[in-house]
Structure 1
Amino acid sequence: MSNNDLASRVEAIETRFALDRLIAEYAQAFDTRDESLLRGIWHEDARLDLGAAFGSYEGVEAIVESAHTNWKAMPHMHHWMANALIDIDGDTATARAAVDCLCTHIEMGPIQISGLYHDTFERRQGRWAFIERRFDLHFLTPLPNWKPIAGGEAAS
């Protein structure tokens, strides 16, 4: 094995970890209302398309504004991102990642949202970030009998 082969393999592994981390940071940013983390995962000209149910946003400022709107409507969110399939091609990459999200909606109460994210990433000046994240909603369903009885979000 040549040093170039080893270097290419190490770079592919490092890139995969960086992209997996971006997917996880998206979920953490929304769940913890971390605006700084949310801002840091996008290139400035990025697009977030959450479909007819949640809207489409161009640029980091619009994406952050949409987060504030969603945080007001759904003060508690818990995303589970899973089964990320990532394809890397030089300084670009695509991914599909499944999501289940339990939320407390101010009008509907507890709800579950499920779907699939279609992601496009670019590495610019050595930094990987989203340039597009598109969401296909599988379902949004109220959970009328769901009530936490223990833990940080249980009713006191």
Structure 2
Amino acid sequence: MDVIPDQLQRLIDKDAIRDCVLAYARGLDREDETILLSGFHPHACDDHGSYIGPISKFTGRASATRHRWDVYQHHVTNQTIDIEGDGAHAETYFFANLVRPDGHIDLTGGRYIDRLERIEGRWGIAERVTVVEWGATIPPEQTGWLPPGLFIPATHDKDDPSYQRPLKITREFRDLGAK
């Protein structure tokens, strides 16, 4: 068996921890509970403001988002990860862009504070606290929108292009910038 140098193992661990945080955001935006929950251990707990409790009762969270907003994207940005043995703490900044049915856009930013554990070689979130630091709402009259049909629309299910393997462009050639 090859021994992985400590620095390389640390990079492998950090990448696995990043995947846990990204799985939550992608799973929420695609309404895919399997992906959403894959970043957590089954015994995990979450303090998300509107939901505080075990991740096992978190199911339906994506659908709850859909009932308030038509379009939603969660972005994760800066991240620090401190690893100590089979435990880690991560702080990850996030932005959420949420479009209401009436056209208002809710914006929020904050941080996910996570305690993670490596159990049987797999990293997962054990506890999460969501800290919201700011929020704003943009009224519809202050937003612009792109013409319908210009881009492929997102869907909050497995019809979204992100699930297509292999990805294939099927729309006709178009060059709106040609003179």
Query: Shared fold by TM > 0.5?
Result: yes
Q: Which of 44, 67, 89 is the equivalent residue of 1:46? A: 44
Indicate whether 1:117 and 2:112 are aligned: yes
Indicate whether 1:142 and 2:134 are aligned: no
| Higher Rg | 2
Greater helix content: 1
Give the gaps of 5 or more residues in structure 2.
155-179
Give the gaps of 5 or more residues in structure 1.
none
CA contact (8 A) 1:38 1:64 kept: no
Greater strand content: 1
TM-score for the superposition, normalised by structure 2 = 0.74
Q: Aligned letter for 1:66?
A: R
Render the CA deviation track for 1:59-106: whole Å, top value 9, x for unaligned.
Answer: 32x222333212322232111111101100111100111111101134
RMSD: 2.1
Q: Aligned letter for 1:148?
A: W
Give, in whole Å, the separation in 1 of the partners of 2:55 and 2:21: 18
> 1:65 — aligned with what?
60
Q: 1:66 to 1:57 in 2, by over 3 A?
A: farther
Report how far residue 108 of structure 1 moved: 7.5
Secondary structure of the corresponding residue to residue 64 of structure 1: coil
CA contact (8 A) 1:108 1:142 kept: no
Q: Moved runs in structure 1, 4+ residues, more than 4 A?
A: none
Q: 1:68 to 1:100 in 2, by over 3 A?
A: same
Give identity over the alignment, percent: 22
Q: Aligned letter for 2:131?
A: D
